[in-house]
Chains A and B, each alone.
Chain A
């Protein structure tokens, strides 16, 4: 019985094309290009406001060299937040529930920050492995621990996003099933479950936005350390 709850995470195919292909191309359609007009339409104005505000917020603590990453991290944020929010619509497929995709985002970007740090300022980058003020006997152990934590970062980034979204979708499905099954038996309990479902959906909307933000924020922090 538990196996059928995971059916929602397999993208079904129509004429040989999996639904994930449609889900991945939709964000491109939803965001219009900036035009050369002085005063744009409302959608474009809101979008520009959001993008500029976000880029300013994220790149404030990073030095000038790191600002080259602005386009990449901002577009990543927009993509992730759109994918997460679109996944909350009925019958849609959320590509970010697939661990393969999140690791494909996390590993190259993390590796890029590490390589940039090692190449441009190797001493400074290696110095991050030892926090200031550690007692001398603890140094070897701490360096090993910090190295392990460095290598676990991409794994944590990918798994965090996957696990949060998958758990959210599963919870929604479980509670919705419970409400549906209880409706003919105990209507009051079913209504309470329905209220719980409503609050859970609001939580899921928040989680969708927060998880995308956390992903990009952590990447910007790793960049700040290394650039």
Chain B
């Protein structure tokens, strides 16, 4: 069964194919209202899929925390990569 053709800019992020990513980003709404509504919709989708379920376990929050650690690492990469592990000044 084929899906109905939907314009690329209006697809959900998980349905966008890698090659279409540029077109998708170009067509999105980057006004403050648009950004806030995008964040809110994303949060609602995540919440309703993983946390707001009948027998939710630790997985829903654990994924959020692991994502937070990963983003913190990316944030600090610049600062950490300049350190030499084999010197006394490492920490």
Contact = CB atoms under 8 A, between A and B. Distances in A.
B66 to A, nearest CB: 9
A188 interface: no
B43 A14 contact: no
Contact of B72 (A1, A44, A93, A174): A93
A5 interface: yes
Contacts of A43: 51, 56, 60-61
User: Secondary structure of the A side of the interface?
Assistant: helix
A1 B89 contact: yes
Interface size class of A (residues with CB under 8 A): 20 to 34
B88 A42 contact: no
Interface size class of B (residues with CB under 8 A): 20 to 34
B69 A19 contact: no
B52 A4 contact: no
A86 interface: yes
Contacts of B61: 30, 43
Nearest to A10: B79
A19 B56 contact: no
A32 B47 contact: yes
Contacts of A26: 68
A41 B56 contact: yes
A92 B68 contact: yes
A29 B67 CA distance: 12
Interface string B37-75: 000000100010001111111001100110011011111
Given A29-B64, A91-B69, A177 B75 contact: no
Contact of B91 (A32, A90, A93, A173): A173
Contacts of B51: 32, 41, 43
A74 to B, nearest CB: 20
B3 to A, nearest CB: 31
Of B54, B56, B61, B79, most buried by chain A (CB within 10 Å of CB) is: B79
Nearest to A33: B47
A111 to B, nearest CB: 34
Interface of B: 43, 47, 51-57, 60-61, 64-65, 68-69, 71-76, 78-79, 88-91
18 contacts: A7-B79, A12-B78, A14-B74, A14-B75, A23-B72, A26-B68, A32-B52, A41-B52, A42-B57, A43-B56, A43-B61, A89-B65, A89-B68, A91-B73, A92-B69, A92-B72, A173-B91, A177-B90
